[in-house]
Each structure stands twice: as structure tokens, then as C-alpha cells.
Structure 1
Amino acid sequence: MKKVVLAGLVSCLIAGSASAKTLDVDNAIGMASLMICTTYYSENDMQIEGTIVGQSMMNHENAGIKEMKMTETTNKKLTEYMANFKAASKSQKGELCEQAIEFARNSTFVKENS
């Protein structure tokens, strides 16, 4: 399941057209954290948290994040984030997912791109 989420994120973010806006590192990592933590919260029966990150993920997708392209630097930082999440302990993953909730609450991407 996690591999499917990661593959979906990477394919969505890398497949931007030549005229697409460039996705910055913070929004790329934020979107990745929303996708990963949706699964994490689901696996740990944390419905409220899962709803928060899941709704934010959909809002970002609807605002056009999938159409954006990544620079090589952003791709590298995203790959590092994914490796760090994968290597994290359960409590560390919980902390990273708390950051995903903060991203969901504070992101201005949806307002700026709607």
C-alpha cells in the first residue's frame, strides 16, 4: 500500500507539463506527508487525524498540485524525506504526521492556486 502511495505521488509531481508552475520543496514535502500520513492514520485507527490530512490532500489536488513540475533539487529533497519517513520509528512517524497536520492547517497553496 505504501509503495502505491509513493509511486502515485512521484508520478503526479514529476509529470508536470513544460508550461506548468514549479513546485517548491515545502509544498512537495507537505503533499507527500499528507499522502503518507493518510495511510499511517488509517493503519492506526486515527480517524480524526486521517480525515484532516485526507481532506487537505484532496484540496491540494483540486488546486492543481498534480499539474506542477518538480526541479531536480525538489525531487532530491522529496526523496530524502521519503527515506527518512521510511526509516523512522513508529513514534517518529507520529511526529512527522503531526507536521503533516500542521501543513494541512497552515498551507496557503490552495488559496493561492484556486
Structure 2
Amino acid sequence: MKKLLIAGLVSCLFAGTASAENLDTDTAVGMASLMICTSFYAEHDMQIEGQIVGQSMMSHRSAGIEEMIMTKETSQALDAYMTKFQAANKEQQVVLCEDAIKFARESTFVKVD
């Protein structure tokens, strides 16, 4: 059930229109990591980390990421990332989620004025 929920959230997030701009692979995988790790941190009562990735996820959504579309290559990279996360043990998932926090801090998708 959890796998279906995550897959559904990610596929809805990245649905776009034909006139939308293409979403680059790094940003797509970064956004997926934010979504997945928001749930991961909530399940493991890691509130500070969850707040960081959750706020970044919302900032990316507000900046227009939902209007973008994915190329086939980006979709495949996203599938590979999700498979990697789901196959990882808890310690490996923590490392992957540390990468999500790094993405949250370093992403240039959200422009700060």
C-alpha cells in the first residue's frame, strides 16, 4: 500500500501539460527524494529533518514544479531512484534522506529574491 501511495504521489506531482517546460533529471529525483523522505522522517519521528524536507518540497511546488513535464529519461531515473530507496535498509535510507536535505539546501530551482 505504501509503495502505491508513494508512486501515486510522485506521478501526480510530475504530471504536466504539453506547453510546460521540461523538468531536469536532478530536480525530479531531488523532488522525489523530498517527498519520500518527508514520509520516512515522519515514520521515524525525526521532526527537524522532516520539517526541512517538507518546507523545501512545498517551496518547489509553489515555484511551479507541478507545471513541468518529464522526459522519458527523467522518468526512468526517477523509477531507478524509487527502486533504490525501496530496496534499501533503514541505514541506507537515512543516507539517501541526508541527500534529500542536501538537495533542499542547495537546489537552485526555487529562486530567492
Give the structure-2-normalised TM-score: 0.94
Corresponding position of 1:18: 18
Structure 1 residue 6: Cα displacement:
2.5
The SS at the match of 2:45 is coil
Structure 1 residue 2: Cα displacement:
4.6
Corresponding position of 1:8: 9
Query: How many Å separate the matches in 1 of 2:47 and 2:21?
Result: 33
Unaligned runs of at least 5 residues, structure 1: none
Q: Which digits, 9 at most, give the CA deviation of each residue in 1:5-60, with x for residues without a partner?
A: 321111221x2111100001000000000000000000000000000000000000
In proportion to residue count, which structure has more helix? 1
Give the structure-1-normalised TM-score: 0.93
Query: How many Å separate the matches in 2 of 1:40 and 1:33?
Result: 10
Q: Is 1:39 matched up with 2:76? A: no
After the TM superposition, list the runs of 4 or more consecutive aligned residues in structure 1 that deviate by more than 6 angstroms. Answer: none
> How many pairs are equivalent?
112
The SS at the match of 1:79 is helix
* Alignment RMSD: 1.4
Identity %: 57
Structure 1 residue 106: Cα displacement:
0.2
Retained in 2: the 8 A contact 1:2–1:39?
A: no
Read off the aligned partner of 1:12 and give its amino acid letter. L
Query: How many Å separate the matches in 1 of 2:48 and 2:91?
Result: 18
